[in-house]
Structure 1
């Protein structure tokens, strides 16, 4: 009987995290639409060089770019990108081709991943965290990466290592 009870407890312990994860990952369809509209408008702001792009990033928000040196707090990122956002010219163009949206049970914290088509970097992948506030959504964390096909990953890795070795030698 003790073995049966122990087995039942272990089964429940194994199932609970899975059930909880399923509840968290099933974002309300209305929330998903709101998030998609928000993130799409954020990307559109960049595509049209609108300063509203930075207003959608939380004051304590972080943007991680594709270069290993690109770990930006919002205001530093805005300063770095100033030249890209002059005269409402396109800064960069990202178009999501797929996005998965997840949310905490109360919908106050949302996270997503997306596949992107870009004009200057080809296919990219990104993930982000959004905080829902009384004023609306704000991006707390965004990380962009270039999608490298597995069949050329070794070549790309070699190029990166060579570039890093050259940069280290130039110091």
Structure 2
């Protein structure tokens, strides 16, 4: 056997496990990647990639009570904003992911930080669609300390009463 073919076999035996390892991404790793990309693409105003993470029938809930966005409407709003070069930046600080018994659906909660608004919470559901994890629902929430709730709840009630 010549040195070239022995070297090729050795190289192949070293590279093959890496290829197999990289292709066998666990569901947890795959979902983590989708959620990490969600925040990355939003921060970089990468509209097409951002909205491709959502299922066609996805729903996005914003912090305002009136923000229940079906994907098409959310995409129209988001793409217009992203085209200006402005996205929105949230940094994940904590995340929990849970899977259905058949590993076809998962739900998560995460704490995310924004420079302007501070700590927020994102929750949602992803579903495996044609071997890709797609966001079915994302809910952005501004958590409030219980001691502040009476004061701000009253202000919010008055705000919506005026509309």
Contact 2:30 2:133 in 1 (8 A): no
**Could you tell me how far apart the structure 2 residues matched to 1:137 and 1:30 are?**
12
TM-score, length-scaled by structure 2: 0.78
**1: CA distance between counterparts of 2:34 and 2:44?**
15
The question of whether the paired residues in 2 share the 8 Å contact of 1:92 and 1:119 is answered with: no
How many angstroms apart in 1 are the aligned matches of 2:159 and 2:31? 38
> For 1:148, which of 131, 144, 147 is the aligned residue?
144
1:112 aligned residue: 108
The RMSD of aligned alpha carbons is 1.6
Structure 1 residues 105-114 or 30-39, which shifts more? 30-39
Pairing partner for 1:80 from 77, 81, 84: 77
Q: Which runs of 4+ in 1 moved over 4 A?
A: none
Match of 1:42 among 34, 38, 45: 38
Distance 1:109 1:79 in 2: 27
Report the Cα offset of residue 135 of structure 1.
Answer: 4.2
> Superposition pairs for residues 123-162 of structure 1, below 5 Å?
123-162=119-158
Question: 5+ unaligned residues in a row in structure 2: which ranges?
Answer: 1-24
- Per the TM alignment, residue 144 of structure 1 is displaced from its structure 2 partner at its CA by 0.9
Gaps of at least 5 residues in structure 1 are 1-28
CA–CA distance in 2 between the matches of 1:131 and 1:100? 16
1:53 partnered with 2:40 = no
Measured in 1, the distance between the counterparts of 2:78 and 2:129 equals 26
State the aligned residue count. Answer: 138
SS in 2 for 1:67: coil
* Distance in 2 of aligned mates of 1:75 and 1:119: 28
Residues 74-129 of structure 1 show CA distances to partners (whole Å, capped at 9, x for unaligned) of 01111122332114x24111111111100112211011111111133221112111
TM-score (ref. length: structure 1):
0.75
